[in-house]
Amino acid sequence: MATTSPPKGSYGFIGLGNMGFGMAKNVRQKMPASSKLLVCELVQSQRDEFCSAVEGDVEVARTPREIAEKCDIIITSLPNAAAVKKVFLDPSTGLLSGCPKDKAILFLETSTIEASASLEVLDAVKSSALAASFLDAPVSGGIPPAHAGTLTFMVGGPEDVFEKARPIMATMGKPENLIHCGGPGAGLATKQINNYIAYCSYVALCEGMNTGLKFGLDPKVLNGKTDVINASSGQCWNSLHMNPVKGVLPNSSASRDFKGGFKTELAQGVTRQMTKLMEEVGAKSVFGPVMDDVWARAVESDLCKDQESRSIWRLFTEEDGKLLGKTKIE
């Protein structure tokens, strides 16, 4: 689908972390040259690095309130629901404390948080910023696509607002991967379901690869560049890109000894978001308790904590899997 150029105006970006840094960089590169970008980030080293690395008109804002006072388009990329609520709702420094009721600000909230928390923020926006628009627009792809501008956006909110935001999202993501998922909260629910399925499939891949190794199978035949799993019905995103056995897939996190990338603690958070969502809507869950248990063990283990999340492979292989205990479904 053809995408028009991003609109003129003042842009604000809050959160220059692992994902936000690359996203904000692409916004500045692709937004109108005459427009100004204001950034707000708690960590000074991140602010300084961004300002020195990015060309174009960039100004540092001291608080989210200052962003709201000066910007027409505001993008947030934050680590958790508590941070999102503080950025929007803090009575002294938050976005809504400085947002005029009659100013038609577009809020593009790209953090991966609970849908219920996002809906709480949306209600506050509706109450205090009457002319503003709000989309929950979590992203998928990881840090390299954030820098490359090839993310996928899963978006919840009014369709007309989605279309208005499309050219802005296209500065950070693939135009064909800007997906309107439904009304408010739908983007986050979709993201949580996607994350959960991906991690369930990775746990299954760990079990399969560990079984294959113990049986004496060649892991590169089982799941390598030319392999059985990816030529058969077991194929999934992780089997294509993230085999846990070092040396099988050269670009997997296993080949970096699970350094960098999406950490175990963050994976536990997104998995818990999904199990909470299943509870909230009354959906039957079979794997949920097992997944919660796996990640609870991972964040306490020296083999996995503060490592890339797919380091949970080590729980299957070290000490003959005893670190995983005897979790079962009742």
Q: Which residues of 112-125 are buried (b: 16+ CB within 10 A; e: fewer)?
A: bbbbebbebbbebb
Phi first, then psi: give them for residue 29, nearest 5 degrees: -70, -35
> Facing residues of 153 across strands?
139, 178
Are the C-beta atoms of residues 324 and 315 closer than 8 Å to each other?
Answer: yes
Active site residue 30: no
Q: How far apart are CA 276 and CA 233, in angstroms?
A: 30
Which of 85, 101, 164, 191 is flagged as catalytic?
A: 191
- How crowded is residue 263: how many other Cβ atoms within 10 Å of its Cβ? 19
Residue 319, C-beta contacts closer than 8 angstroms, at least 6 positions apart: none
Q: Is 326 exposed, middle or buried (0-12, 13-18, 19+ CB in 10 A)?
A: exposed
Q: Residue 282: how many CB atoms within 10 A of its CB?
A: 6
Give catalytic residues, as residue numbers.
Answer: 191
